[in-house]
Amino acid sequence: MDRFEDPLYDYAEQHSDAEPELLARLRRRTWQTQTHAHMLSDPLQGRLLALLAKLVRPERVLELGTFTGYSTLCLAEGLAPGGVIHTVDPDEELHTLQDAFWAEAGLTDQIIRHTAEASATLPSLPVPFDLVWIDADKRRTAEYVAWAIAHTRPGGLILVDNVLWWGKVLEGPESADADARSLHALNADLHADPRVENLILPLRDGIHALRVK
The CATH code of the domain that includes 115 is 3.40.50.150
On the question of a cis peptide bond just before residue 126, with omega within 30 degrees of 0, the verdict is no
pLDDT at 6: 81
Work out the pLDDT band at 211, boundaries 50, 70, 90. very high
Q: Pairing state of beta strands 111-114 and 152-161? A: unpaired
Q: Give the percent of the chain with pLDDT over 90.
A: 93
Angle at 173 between CA 89 and CA 48, to 5 degrees: 45
- Cα–Cα distance for residue pair 72/57, rounded to 1 Å: 15
For residue 138, is pLDDT > 70? yes
Position 192 in a domain: yes
Average pLDDT of the residues of the chain: 95
Domain count of the chain? 1
For residue 7, is pLDDT > 50? yes
pLDDT digits (tens, 9 = 90+) for 59-86: 999 999 999 999 999 999 999 999 999 9
Position 2 in a domain: no
Position 25 in a domain: yes
pTM for this entry = 0.95
- Cα–Cα distance for residue pair 207/210, rounded to 1 Å: 10
Position 1 in a domain: no
In which domain, by residue range, is 91 found? 7-212
Position 188 in a domain: yes
Work out the pLDDT band at 169, boundaries 50, 70, 90. very high
For residue 116, is pLDDT > 80? yes
- Rounded mean pLDDT, 123-143: 96
For residue 1, is pLDDT > 80? no
| CA-to-CA separations, 141 to 62, 105, 148, in angstroms, rounded | 14, 29, 10
Position 77 in a domain: yes
Position 148 in a domain: yes
pLDDT at 4: 58
pLDDT digits (tens, 9 = 90+) for 17-43: 999 999 999 999 999 999 999 899 999
pLDDT at 106: 98
